[in-house]
Chains A and B, each alone.
Chain A
Amino acid sequence: MEILADSPIKISENKKNGLFAWILWHFYEMPKTWFSIWKNYLWFGLYYFSIPFLLATLFLPWRKYAWRYPKGFDVGGFLSTFASNLFSRLIGAFIRVVLVIVGIALEIFIFVAGIVLILLWYLLPFLLLFLLLFLIVPYGA
Chain B
Amino acid sequence: MELNFDTRKTSISRALKTSSSPLLKYSSFFAQLFFYLFLISFFLIGFSFLGFLPLELATKIPIFLLFCFLFFLELHLFLEFSVKIPKLTIPLSQAAPSEQYNLAEFLTLEGCSIVEIAIKHCKKRRLLEVPSEALLYAGLLENNDIRVLLVRLGVDVKKTEADVKNYLEKQEKAKKFNLVLSESFVSVMKEAANIAQERGRERIGEKELLVGLAKQDEFFKKMMIEHDLKEKDIEDLSFWLDGMEKKQDAAKKFWTKENLSRMGSLGKDWASGYTITLDQYSLDLREIVSKNMMRKMVGHEKEIESVETILSKTSQSNALIVGEIGVGRKSIVQALAQRCYLGQSTSELNGKRVVELDMVAIISQIQDQEKLEVTLDQIFQESLASGNVILVVDSLDEFISQKTQKPGDVDISVILSKYLAMPNFQFIGITSYDGLHRKLEQNSSFLQYFRKVEVTEVSETETIQILQSLALGLEQKYRMLILYPSIREIVNLTGRYMPTVPFPKKAIDALYEAVSYAKSQKARILEPNYVAKIISDKTEIPIGKIESKEKTLLLNLEQLIHQRIVNQKEAVGEIAIAMRRARAGIASKKRPMGTFLFLGPTGVGKTETAKALSEIYFGQISKGASEHHMIRIDMSEFQAVSDIPRLIGALSPVEMQGILTTPVRENPFSLVLLDEIEKAHPNILNLFLQVFDEGHITDGQGRKVLFTNTIIIATSNAGAPMIFSALESGSELKKQDLLDNLFKEGIFKPEFVNRFDAAVIFQPLTKEHLMEIAQMMLNSLASALKEKDIELLVTDALKEKIVELSYKPEFGAREMRRVVQDTIENKVADSLLSDTIAKGDKIEINPENFEIVVLK
Chain A interface (Cβ within 8 Å of chain B)?
1-4, 6-7, 9-15, 18, 21-22, 25-26, 29-30, 33, 37, 40-41, 43-44, 47-50, 53-54, 57, 60, 62-65, 92, 95-96, 99, 124-125, 127-128, 131-132, 134-135, 139-140
Contacts and interface: CB of A to CB of B under 8 A. Distances in A.
B255 A41 contact: yes
Contact of B256 (A40, A57, A63, A135): A40
29 contacts: A1-B1, A1-B3, A1-B186, A3-B3, A3-B5, A3-B179, A3-B181, A4-B3, A6-B6, A11-B10, A11-B11, A12-B86, A13-B87, A22-B82, A26-B74, A26-B78, A29-B81, A30-B77, A37-B255, A40-B255, A43-B260, A47-B260, A49-B265, A99-B267, A125-B74, A128-B71, A131-B70, A139-B56, A140-B56
B9 interface: yes
Contact of B260 (A21, A41, A49, A135): A41
A115 B326 CA distance: 53
Nearest to A10: B89
B82 A21 contact: yes
Contacts of B3: 1, 3-4
B74 A50 contact: no
Contact of B257 (A33, A44, A60): A44
Nearest to A36: B255
A3 B2 CA distance: 8
A39 to B, nearest CB: 9
A2 B386 CA distance: 74
A4 B88 contact: no
A128 B260 contact: no
Interface stretch (B270-278, B637-645, B706-714, B839-847): B270-278
Nearest to B70: A128
Nearest to A51: B267
A22 B66 CA distance: 21
B219 interface: no
Contacts of A25: 78, 81-82
B183 interface: yes
A33 B181 contact: no
A47 B2 CA distance: 55
Given A53-B268, A99-B266, A134-B63, A7 B82 contact: no
B748 interface: no
B387 interface: yes
A138 B537 CA distance: 82
B260 A12 contact: no
B255 A30 contact: no
A68 to B, nearest CB: 13
Q: Which are the 4 A-B pairs with shortest beta-carbon distances?
A: A64-B273, A139-B56, A7-B102, A12-B11
Contact of B66 (A10, A14, A131): A131
Contacts of A29: 81-82
B476 interface: no
Given A7-B101, A11-B88, A25-B82, A53 B70 contact: no
A42 to B, nearest CB: 11
Nearest to A34: B255
Contact of A13 (B89, B264, B343): B89
B179 to A, nearest CB: 6
Contact of A48 (B8, B183, B266): B266
Given A7-B101, A12-B105, 17 more contacts: A1-B186, A2-B180, A3-B3, A3-B180, A13-B89, A15-B14, A30-B77, A47-B261, A49-B265, A49-B267, A50-B266, A53-B267, A54-B270, A57-B270, A62-B270, A63-B274, A139-B59
Contact of A135 (B64, B81, B183): B64
Residue in A7, A14, A26 with the greatest tally of chain B CB atoms within 10 Å: A7
Nearest to A134: B63
Interface in B170-217: 178-181, 183, 186
Contacts of A15: 11, 14, 86
B163 interface: no
B788 interface: no
B825 interface: no
Given A131-B67, A132-B67, A135-B64, A12 B265 contact: no
B818 interface: no
A92 B256 contact: no
Nearest to B179: A3
A125 B714 CA distance: 89
Contacts of A37: 255
A7 B100 contact: yes
Contacts of A62: 270
Interface in B476-534: none
B488 to A, nearest CB: 37
A41 B480 CA distance: 41
B385 interface: yes
Given A1-B181, A7-B102, A33-B81, A48 B265 contact: yes
Given A7-B102, A12-B10, A40-B257, A60 B271 contact: yes
B4 interface: yes
B296 interface: no
A63 B185 CA distance: 68
Nearest to B8: A6
B828 interface: no
Contacts of B422: none
A124 B67 CA distance: 10
Contacts of A13: 11, 86-87, 89
Contacts of B268: 50, 53
Nearest to A43: B257
A37 B81 CA distance: 14
Contacts of A53: 267-268, 271, 351
B21 to A, nearest CB: 11
Contacts of A139: 55-56, 59-60
Contacts of A33: 81
A113 B180 CA distance: 56
Residue in B66, B86, B178 with the greatest tally of chain A CB atoms within 10 Å: B86
Interface string B375-388: 00000000001110
A33 B256 CA distance: 11
B267 A96 contact: yes
Given A43-B257, A50-B268, A11 B63 contact: no
Contacts of B59: 139
Nearest to A13: B87
Interface string B50-91: 000001100110011011001100100110011000111110
A4 B102 CA distance: 9
Interface in B429-464: none
A11 B274 contact: no
Contacts of A125: 74
A44 B271 CA distance: 21
Given A10-B89, A13-B11, A13-B86, A64 B178 contact: no
Nearest to B256: A40
A53 to B, nearest CB: 6
Contacts of B105: 7, 11-12
Residue in A4, A10, A26 with the greatest tally of chain B CB atoms within 10 Å: A4
A94 B84 CA distance: 52
A115 B106 CA distance: 37
Contact of A63 (B66, B180, B270): B270
A26 B181 CA distance: 39
A99 B5 CA distance: 60
Residue in A15, A29, A127 with the greatest tally of chain B CB atoms within 10 Å: A15
Contacts of A57: 270-271
B95 interface: yes
Nearest to B102: A7
A6 B101 CA distance: 9
Nearest to B59: A139
B78 A7 contact: no
A11 B89 contact: yes
B321 to A, nearest CB: 29
Contact of A6 (B1, B95, B102, B260): B102
Contact of A64 (B86, B101, B343, B386): B386
Contacts of A131: 63, 66-67, 70
